Amino acid sequence: MNLLASLPLYPLLSFLVLISFGKRLSWAVASWLSVGAMGLSALCSMLLVAQLSTSEVNVITSHLWQWFSVGSAKVNVSFYLDALSAVMILVVTGVGFLIHLFAAIYMKSDENFTRFMAYMNLFIVAMLVLVLADNLVLLYLGWEGVGLCSFLLIGFWYQEKNNVLAARKAFIVTRIGDTAMAIGLFLLFKSLSSLNIVEINQLAQTSETFSLSIANNEASDAYWAALLLLGGAVGKSAQLPLQTWLPDAMAGPTPVSALIHAATMVTAGVYLIARMNGVFIMAPEVMTYVAWLGAITLLLAGVAALAQTDIKRVLAYSTMSQIGYMMLALGAGAWSAGVFHLMTHAFFKALLFLTAGAVILALHHQQNLFKMGGLLKKLPFESALFFIGLACLVALPGTSGFFSKEAIIASLWLSPTAGASLWWCAILGALLTSIYSCRLFFLAFLGEQRFPKDLVISDHLETNHLLRGALVVLALLSLFGGLFTIDLSTVLPLSNESELSPGWLHAVAIITPFIGIAFSWFYFKRYRSRDIISLNESQSSWLVFCRNGLGFDVIYRFLLVKPYCFITQLNRRDLFDQLIMLSAWYVEIWRDVLSASQNGRLRWFAGTFGLSLVGLILVVIL
Amino acid sequence: MMLTFVILGLLLSGSLAWYSDDKPFFGVRFQAKWVALVAVIIFSLIFVFSVYLSPLNFQTLQTIAHVSWINSLNINYTLALDHLSITLIMLTLFLALICILVSWDEIQEKSGFYYFNLLATFAGIIGVFSAVDMFLFFFFWEVMLLPMTALIAIWGHEKRYFAAIKFFIFTQVSSLLMLVAIIAMAYIHQQQVGDLSFSYQDWLSLELNNELALYLMLGFFIAFAVKLPSVPFHSWLPDAHTQAPTAGSVLLAGVLLKTGAYGLIRFVIQLFPQASENFAPIAVTLGVVSILYGAKMAFAQTDFKRLVAYSSISHMGFVMLALFSFNEIAYQGVIVTIVAHGLSSAALFSLAGMIYQRIHSRNLTDMGGFWQSAPRMGGFGLAFAAAAFGLPGLANFVGEFLSLVGAYQVFPVMVILAAFGLIGSAIYGMVLFQKTFQGSSLKTVPDLSCRELIVSSSLLMLLVILGLYPNLLLQYFRGVIL
C-alpha cells in the first residue's frame, strides 16, 4: 500500500464511518473526522508531488487489483500520477480541504450535518479516482461517482421540491453527455483495442487506421472518438449545449457550489480533453469545435451573467464562462494554458463562492443582489476578500487570473485550430467578465443598504478564526497562485509559440478589463450611488430572457422533455399489452355467444337445427 | 447424486413445512417459515460444499446423475452441471433465502401451503438449470410454473387472479411451442441416428438443414423470449410482478426470468448455432427495442413495482443484445448482467415490499420524503436505484459495459441506440428514488428492522463485491466461445 493508493482512502474511510454512524456522531467528531481526512489527503498529495518532481520518469503508478478484462485488454483499478494529474490532485485536495474546513463551520447547525460531510468526502473520493485513473473505465467510475455526489449535494435539502428537481436535472443532463462518452469508449476500444489512457494516447498517434477516413466522405474513427469524448466533457463542464443544469445546481448549499460547481467537478471535462490529448490532436476539426464551443459558451454565459439577480447565479454563469476559456485554450492547442487557468480559476472561484456564502449567511439567507447593497461598511473583511476574487476574475495585472488568462489569449491568434476571430471572442469575453463583475460588486457592496436597517448581521461566522483563515489562504492563493509554474511538458504537447503575433495583441488584452471597469463605473452609476434607496430589477423582456439562461431551458422543454413525457403518457397502458388483451376479449365474446346459445330451450335447439339443415342443403345444392 | 438430493430435499421439506405448520411437536410449536429457512440453508450448504469439493472440471457439462426413466421412449433422468448452471443455482439458492426472509412477516395466512409452493418453485428452477434430458427439462419447466402461479393467485394483491392466469397462459402457450420443437428434435434424432433421444448432448451432434433448424430454433426462442421477457412478449410480466407477493416478485425477477436467459444460452444458441446466427439481426433488434421500450414504459409508471418490472424488461434487453452478438466479451457481460440483475431487482422488489408493509400502498404518489424518518431505508433505496441505472462500482455496470463493448464490435449502430437506454434508466431511476425518498415528508415510517437490514445489506454487499471484483464470477467464463 503506497502513498498514492492511500490518497482516496482517507476520505473513503471517513465517508464510511460518517454514513454508518450518522447522527450519533457529534459535530466535533464528525468535523474532525471529515476535515482531518481531507487534511491527510492534502498532505499526501503534497508529498506525492514532491516525490514526482524528483522522480526521473515523471510518473508514479500504483496498481491495486484487476477490475475485469475486456478481451485481451485489462481494466485495472490502478492509479497513475503524472504532472497533469498532480495539478488536479493538488487542486482537489488542497482547495477541497479549505472548503471542507469552511463547510464544517458553515453547516454546523444543519440537522443532517454528518450526512453532508459524508457526501463531501465521497465526492472527493470519486474526484480523486477520476483524476488518478489509469484507464478510461476507472475514469468513468469517478466520472459517474462525482455525478452522483453532485446529485446528492444539490438535492441535500431534499424537502424543497425545487432542489429535488434541480438535482434530477443536473444528473440527467450530465448523463446525456456521459452516454456519449460511453459510446466513445466503445469506439476507442474497437479501433485501438485498449482502454488504458497512456496506451490510447500513444496508439492514436501510431495507429494507421485510427485517423484515416475509411471512405472519402466518412469521418475517421479519431474524429468520432474525439467528438464523443467532447460530448462527455460538455455535459460535465456545463458547456453548450448541455449547460442548462449548472445555474439550477446553485440550489445546493454554498460550500457545494464552491467545491463541485466551481473548483473541481465542472472542470473534469477540461481534464478529460487534456488527458486524451493524443486522440484530440488526431482530429483537428474537433479541436476547432472545442474552441468554438468554448468561445460561444464564454460569450453567452457572460451575457446571461449580466442579467442575474441572484449572487450565486452570477457566479455560476461566470464559472461556465471561465470554463469556456479553458475549452478555448484546449481547442487552440494551448494545453498547459488551459490547465493553468483551471487551477487559478479553482482558487479564485472557490474564494468567491465561499465569501458569497459568508455574505448570504450574514444576511440570513438573502441571495438577491437587489436586496443587498452597502455591505462594504457592514462586512469589510468579506468585501475585501470578494474584491480580491473579482480582481482575479477580471484578470487585473498581477493576480493569478491575469497570468492564466493572458496565456490563453496570447495563444489564440496564431493557432491553426483557433485564429483571429476566436481571439476577438476571447477579448469580448474579457470585457463582459469585467462588466458583470463590476455590476456584482457595485450591487452587493457599494451603494446604499437595501436590506432592513435593523437586520442584525448574524455573526457566528464573523468570529470564527478558522473560517476566516480558510478564506485568507484562498485569497492568498488567488493573488499569488499565478506565480506557481507548472511544467506540463512531460504530459501535454507544447503549444505553438506566439512570438510571431502582432505586438498590439498584448496591449489590447491587458487594457480590455480596464475598459470594462470604466464603462461600468459610468453605466452602473445607479448601482453604486448612495442616494438611491431602493432598486428594482428591470423587467424588460430582453433582460428576463437573459436572466432565464437565454431560452435554452424553454427550447429543451418543448423539444425533448414534453415530447418524451407525452409519448410515455400516451402509451402508459402499453400498446403491446392492449393488442394481446384484444385476443382475450375476442375469446370472451365467443364464450358469451356460445354460452348464450346453450340456453336449454327446445324451441331454440329445434330452430337452429332446422336453420342449419336448410343452410347445409343450400350449400350442397349450390 | 447430491443435486437430486437437493431438489428432492427442497420438495420434501416444502411438504414438511406444509404439514407441520402450526402443529406442536414435543411441546414446540413448528412454524413453516423456520422449516423453510433451515431447509434452504442446509441444502445451500450441501450444494456449495459438494460443488467445491467435487473433482470434476465444470468448464464443460459434467453429467452428475443418470437414471433411465421411460425406457420405451429413451427418456432418462439426467442432470448435468457446468459453470453456467452452477452460477445460476447459487443465485437461486441465495435468493431463496432472501425470499423467505422477505415473507417472514408478510405471509400470515395459509403459511404452510405458501412455503410449500415457494420451495417447490425453487426445486423446479434448480431442476431447469441442471436437466439435460429435454423431456426432464420440460417436466421441471412445468414444475416451476404451477406453484409460481399458485403463489400469485393465492397470496397476491388485488388483481391476483387476472395476473396469475395471464402469467399461466403466456407461459403455457409458449412452452407448447417448445414441446413441439422438443418432440421434433427427438424424432429427427431417430431419423438420423436410429433411436429416439431426448438427450441434449446427443442433439448437439445432429445435422439440421437451415430451414428446419430455423423453425425448431424459433420454437425454443419464443418460449425463452416470453420468459426473458422480450418485447413484444413481455406484457405478462408487469401484471405478474405487480400482483405477486413480495417474495413472488423477487423470485420472478431474480431467477425465473433467468431461466429464459439460460434457455437462450444453452439451447437456442448451442443447439442451433447457424440458425441463431442468421436470426441474430432480428434478436438484437428485439433486444434494443426491449431496452428502450422498457425504459420508456418504466418512466410512465406510478406503481413502484410496475416501474421496477418494466425496468427488468429493459435490463433483459441487454442480455438479448449481447447474447446474439456472438462475442466473448459480450457473453461475459451476459453472465454478469444475469447475476447483477437478479440481485438488484430482487433488492428493489424487497424494498417495495418493505414500503408496502409500512404504508399499504405501492403508489408512488402516496410516497415521498421517507428519507426523513427512515434514513437507512433511503440509503439502501439510493444504492439499489443506482445499481439499476448502472452506476459504476456496482455489479450492473460491469454487465452492461461488457455487453455493450462486446456487442459494439459486431453491431455498432444497435449499440449506439441501446446506449440511449442508459439515459432512460437514469430518468426512471431518479424518478423512483426521488418520488419515494425525497420531497416533503407526507408520512413518517419506521426505519428498517434488523431482519430487513440483513436482507438489504447482504444484497448490497454482493452488488458491491461483484461491481468491484467481478473476476470472482468471470474467472469461470474466460475463453468461452459461442
The model's pLDDT over A559-587, given as tens digits with 9 standing for 90+, comes to 888 888 888 777 777 778 788 788 888 88
Q: In Å, how far is B110's CA from the nearest CA of chain A?
A: 31
Confirm or reject contact between A168 and chain B (CB < 8 A).
Answer: yes
pLDDT, average across residues B332-359: 91
Determine which of B438, B453, B466, B474 to mutate to test the interface with A (most A C-beta atoms within 10 Å).
Answer: B438
- Cβ separation of B392 and A176 shorter than 8 Å? no
A353 pLDDT higher than 70: yes
B420 pLDDT higher than 60: yes
**Is B415 domain-assigned?**
yes
pLDDT, average across residues A270-290: 88
Query: Which pLDDT score is estimated for A51?
Result: 84
A74 pLDDT higher than 70: yes
Q: In Å, how far is B280's CA from the nearest CA of chain A?
A: 20
Query: Which pLDDT score is estimated for A376?
Result: 78
* Number of other residues whose CB lies within 10 A of the CB of residue B321: 33
pLDDT, average across residues B441-463: 86
Closest-CA residue of chain B to A74: B471
* Number of other residues whose CB lies within 10 A of the CB of residue A473: 17
Query: Which pLDDT score is estimated for B301?
Result: 86
Confirm or reject contact between B229 and chain A (CB < 8 A).
Answer: no
Q: How many domains does chain B have?
A: 1
Query: Which pLDDT score is estimated for B125?
Result: 92
Q: In Å, how far is B168's CA from the nearest CA of chain A?
A: 13
**Is B193 domain-assigned?**
no
| A17-44: pLDDT as tens digits | 988 887 788 888 888 888 899 998 999 8
| B209-268: pLDDT as tens digits | 888 888 888 889 998 998 888 888 888 888 888 888 888 899 988 898 999 999 999 888
Query: Which pLDDT score is estimated for B401?
Result: 92
**Is B216 domain-assigned?**
no
Chain B positions in Cβ-Cβ contact with residue A176 (cut-off 8 Å): 423
B337 pLDDT higher than 90: yes
Q: Round to whole Å and give the CA distance between A519 and A433.
A: 12
pLDDT, average across residues B441-465: 87
Q: Which residues pair with B298 in a beta bridge?
A: none
Query: Which pLDDT score is estimated for A441?
Result: 87
Query: Which pLDDT score is estimated for A214?
Result: 59
Q: Say if CB A145 and CB A62 are below 8 A apart.
A: no
- Cβ separation of B393 and A141 shorter than 8 Å? yes
Q: Round to whole Å and give the CA distance between B203 and B216.
A: 12
A479 pLDDT higher than 80: yes
**Is B174 domain-assigned?**
no
Query: Which pLDDT score is estimated for A122?
Result: 92
Instruction: Provide the strand spans (E) within A231-370.
Output: none
| B88-135: pLDDT as tens digits | 999 999 999 999 888 888 777 788 888 888 889 999 999 999 988 888
B285 pLDDT higher than 70: yes
Q: Round to whole Å and give the CA distance between B354 and A552.
A: 41
Interface of A with B in 122-151 (CB under 8 A): 137, 140-141, 144-145, 148, 151
Q: What DSSP state is assigned to residue B325?
A: T
Backbone angles phi and psi of B44, in degrees to 5 = -65, -45
Confirm or reject contact between A73 and chain B (CB < 8 A).
Answer: no
Query: Which pLDDT score is estimated for B396?
Result: 92
A554 pLDDT higher than 60: yes
Q: Round to whole Å and give the CA distance between B290 and B305.
A: 18
What is the CA angle A28-A33-A38, rounded to 5? 125
Q: Which domain holds residue B295?
A: 272-482
| A402-424: pLDDT as tens digits | 888 888 888 887 777 777 788 88
Query: Which pLDDT score is estimated for A126?
Result: 92
* Average per-residue pLDDT for chain B: 87
Confirm or reject contact between B446 and chain A (CB < 8 A).
Answer: no
> CB pairs under 8 A, 24+ apart, for B430-433?
B430/A151, B430/A168, B430/A171, B430/A172, B430/B385, B430/B389, B431/A168, B431/B299, B431/B307, B431/B364, B432/B304, B432/B307, B432/B308, B432/B348, B432/B364, B432/B385, B432/B388, B433/B381, B433/B382, B433/B385
pLDDT, average across residues A147-175: 89
* Average per-residue pLDDT for chain A: 84
Q: Round to whole Å and give the CA distance between A606 and A431.
A: 100
**Is B35 domain-assigned?**
no
B466 pLDDT higher than 80: yes
**Is B152 domain-assigned?**
no
Q: Say if CB A78 and CB A134 are below 8 A apart.
A: yes
Confirm or reject contact between A583 and chain B (CB < 8 A).
Answer: no
Confirm or reject contact between B408 and chain A (CB < 8 A).
Answer: yes
Query: Which pLDDT score is estimated for B447?
Result: 83
Of A151, A164, A190, which has the smallest distance from its Cβ to B408's Cβ?
A190
Distances (CA, A) of B177 to B181, B225, B226: 6, 12, 11
Query: Which pLDDT score is estimated for B34?
Result: 83
Query: Which pLDDT score is estimated for A162?
Result: 86
A474 pLDDT tier (thresholds 50, 70, 90)? confident
Distances (CA, A) of B45 to B65, B239, B454: 19, 34, 19
- Cβ separation of B371 and A187 shorter than 8 Å? no
**Is B66 domain-assigned?**
no
Q: Round to whole Å and give the CA distance between B167 and A181.
A: 40
Query: Which pLDDT score is estimated for B442?
Result: 75
Chain A positions in Cβ-Cβ contact with residue B375 (cut-off 8 Å): 22, 115
- Cβ separation of B392 and A141 shorter than 8 Å? yes
A461 pLDDT tier (thresholds 50, 70, 90)? low
| A372-394: pLDDT as tens digits | 777 777 778 888 888 888 888 88
The fraction of chain A above a pLDDT of 70, given in percent, is 94
**Is B468 domain-assigned?**
yes
Q: Tell me which of A575 and B188 has the higher pLDDT.
A: B188
Distances (CA, A) of A177 to A123, A242, A528, A595, B419: 19, 8, 42, 60, 11
Q: Round to whole Å and give the CA distance between A246 and A241.
A: 12
A4 pLDDT higher than 90: no
Interface of B with A in 360-379 (CB under 8 A): 369, 371-372, 375, 379
Q: In Å, how far is B300's CA from the nearest CA of chain A?
A: 5
Interface of B with A in 423-442 (CB under 8 A): 423, 426-427, 430-431, 434, 437-441
Of A367-376, A498-507, B90-99, the least confident: A498-507
* Number of other residues whose CB lies within 10 A of the CB of residue B389: 29
Output the pTM of the full model: 0.90
Query: Which pLDDT score is estimated for B341?
Result: 93
Q: Say if CB A364 and CB A325 are below 8 A apart.
A: no
Query: Which pLDDT score is estimated for B365?
Result: 83
Chain A positions in Cβ-Cβ contact with residue B332 (cut-off 8 Å): 68
The fraction of chain A above a pLDDT of 90, given in percent, is 11
Backbone angles phi and psi of A525, in degrees to 5 = -55, -40
C-alpha torsion A484→A485→A488→A493, nearest 10? 130
Of B391, B434, B469, which has the smallest distance from its Cβ to A144's Cβ?
B391
Query: Which pLDDT score is estimated for A455?
Result: 65
Interface of B with A in 162-181 (CB under 8 A): none
Q: In Å, how far is A568's CA from the nearest CA of chain B?
A: 5
Of B232, B402, B440, which has the smallest distance from its Cβ to A159's Cβ?
B440
A275 pLDDT higher than 80: yes
Q: Tell me which of B347 and A377 has the higher pLDDT.
A: B347
A210 pLDDT higher than 80: no
Q: Round to whole Å and give the CA distance between B181 and B199.
A: 14
Determine which of B159, B169, B233, B235 to mutate to test the interface with A (most A C-beta atoms within 10 Å).
Answer: B235
A533 pLDDT higher than 70: no
Query: Which pLDDT score is estimated for B460?
Result: 92
Coil/strand/helix, residue A349:
helix
Q: Tell me which of A3 and A492 has the higher pLDDT.
A: A3
